[in-house]
Chain A
Amino acid sequence: MSERALVARRVALLAASLVVMVVGSTDIRALRAYRETVVVSEAFTRQVPLSTYFDGVRGTLMDVPVFLFDSGVPGGSVLILGGAHAYEPASPMMAYVVMENIAVTKGRVFVIARANMSASTLGMLGNAYPPFFRVKTPWGEAKYRIGDRETNPLEQWPDPFTFVHYPSTQNLAYQDSRNLNRTFPGRPAGNLTERTSFAISELIRRERIDMTIDVHEASMGYPVVSTYVCHERAEEMCMMAAMMLSAEQFPMKTENSPKSLRGLTHREIGDFTESLAVLMETPEPFIDKFVGPMTEALMLTGRDEFMQTAADRGLLYADYDMKTGATLDYRVGRHLGGAAEIIKQMGEFYPEKAVGVSWPTYADVMEKGIGAFLHDPGKAPRERVFRH
């Protein structure tokens, strides 16, 4: 082959590779660039960046907006933490439904819908996740990101050989250095995820948050599913809330935060702040390892024949029926009901910390779907529309 033909061949191959790269990265770029829209309720007071509480996250994707809904009436305060694990979509969706519909009659409610914003900007490696899911509303489809469990390596890299948790010095898996729910209470001079945890801890301390509710989803093959996980200071109110929910709405368990497993919100926020720390888990077939294709439909419906087989063999830790699945409406509804009940119980146990709050109930969401509670940004006042 002549030299000229050889060069032409290599140029053609390089061009073909670049075309493959551009086409193949379309979804990746779209996911990273996409911003979700939220229309906050009339109870909205103000929005501040997380860096207001700790400057170490300023200018990064982790400098997430903190939304405040203040009744102006003295009472307790609650922080709802959504999206610590971005691949558990009922968590930010619950936060969005709260933000769009909340009414506060006593005390203050803070909401962070995307606690790990960076994690929501990439897919989960090796799992062939769809980048987005869509929720049907009366005014059209609302689109949201499905992200990863950990901070995007574009924001934090390289991982250490072993992640040494601060301040306990407990050794954790290397990828937990990018896991927001393993880096609490955070470290001001630590990596970006540790600094984000520290910023949230500072928010809790400075705003004197009485209760922190960290919202998650769990695989059904994991014992801690359909559960409150509570720091020992919140143990009794969690038990009461779980009993009330199980009797009146849906099955809910409660579990104490293990003292020997470090870095989790329900342990470290309870230990390092005055806040009552509660974490909620809802059943999410989409993140189980033995389900079929991980499609948008599976994420929205939770219907999967392999999951049914596992249920038939008694391998799951929550009731499962493929006919009903575990829909996004069900999971978000559970979180809305679970958060409302635990806040109510805090007021029963500590009247001075009572927070008067309301948002769509579990029954509302099961009847109408979450789409009925998401508002049209095109018709909302501009000052109440945020891109997130």
Chain B
Amino acid sequence: MILLQTLIHQTYFLMSAVIAVLLVTRLFRRKSRPGLAYDIVYAYTIIPFVLRALHIK
């Protein structure tokens, strides 16, 4: 049970890292919505995922 809880807990950190990488990729490589506003949104939405992946917040 504890092992399962630990696995689920660590999966969340992993998911955060994957989403952060995905957002960085989309910031640089996307075909739709190329405007500045979307660049800004992609750039700042990375922050919480990086903070979680790095065990900071």
Specify whether A and B are partners: yes
A interface residues (Cβ-Cβ under 8 A, vs B): 6-7, 9-10, 13-14, 16-18, 20-21, 24-25, 28-29, 32, 56, 122, 154, 156-158, 189-192, 195
Chain A contact residues: helix, strand, loop or mixed: helix
Which residue of the partner chain B has the closest CB to A156?
A: B9
Which residue of the partner chain B has the closest CB to A29?
A: B56
CA distance A24 to B44 in the complex (A): 12
CA distance A10 to B5 in the complex (A): 38
- Apart from A18-B50, A21-B46, 8 more pairs, CB < 8 Å: A9-B36, A13-B27, A17-B46, A21-B51, A24-B47, A25-B57, A122-B57, A154-B57
For B9, B51, B57, which residue has the most chain A Cβ atoms within 10 angstroms?
Answer: B57
The answer to whether B2 and A56 touch across the interface, beta carbons within 8 angstroms, is yes
A residues near B56, Cβ cutoff 8 Å: 25, 28-29, 32
A213 to chain B, nearest CB (A): 30
CA distance A157 to B42 in the complex (A): 25
Q: Can you name 9 A-B pairs with beta carbons within 8 Å?
A: A10-B28, A10-B39, A13-B39, A14-B24, A14-B27, A25-B51, A29-B56, A157-B9, A158-B8
Which residue of the partner chain A has the closest CB to B44?
A: A17
A residues near B1, Cβ cutoff 8 Å: 189-190
B residues near A18, Cβ cutoff 8 Å: 50
Q: Is B17 an interface residue (CB 8 A)?
A: no
B residues near A158, Cβ cutoff 8 Å: 8-9, 12
The answer to whether B28 and A7 touch across the interface, beta carbons within 8 angstroms, is yes
A157 and B44 in contact, given A28-B57, A32-B56, A191-B5 (Cβ under 8 angstroms):
no
Which residue of the partner chain A has the closest CB to B48?
A: A21
Q: Is B33 an interface residue (CB 8 A)?
A: no
B residues near A13, Cβ cutoff 8 Å: 27, 39-40, 42-43
B residues near A56, Cβ cutoff 8 Å: 2
Q: Which are the 9 A-B pairs with shortest beta-carbon distances?
A: A13-B43, A189-B1, A17-B43, A21-B47, A17-B44, A14-B43, A28-B57, A13-B39, A25-B56
Q: Is B31 an interface residue (CB 8 A)?
A: no
A155 to chain B, nearest CB (A): 8
Which residue of the partner chain B has the closest CB to A189?
A: B1
A residues near B9, Cβ cutoff 8 Å: 156-158
Which residue of the partner chain B has the closest CB to A6?
A: B34
A161 to chain B, nearest CB (A): 14
The answer to whether B39 and A17 touch across the interface, beta carbons within 8 angstroms, is no
A59 to chain B, nearest CB (A): 11
B28 to chain A, nearest CB (A): 6
A residues near B5, Cβ cutoff 8 Å: 191-192
CA distance A14 to B33 in the complex (A): 17
Which residue of the partner chain A has the closest CB to B6?
A: A192
The answer to whether B50 and A21 touch across the interface, beta carbons within 8 angstroms, is yes
A352 to chain B, nearest CB (A): 39
The answer to whether A189 and B40 touch across the interface, beta carbons within 8 angstroms, is no
The answer to whether B46 and A14 touch across the interface, beta carbons within 8 angstroms, is yes
CA distance A246 to B1 in the complex (A): 48
A residues near B12, Cβ cutoff 8 Å: 157-158
Which residue of the partner chain B has the closest CB to A152?
A: B57
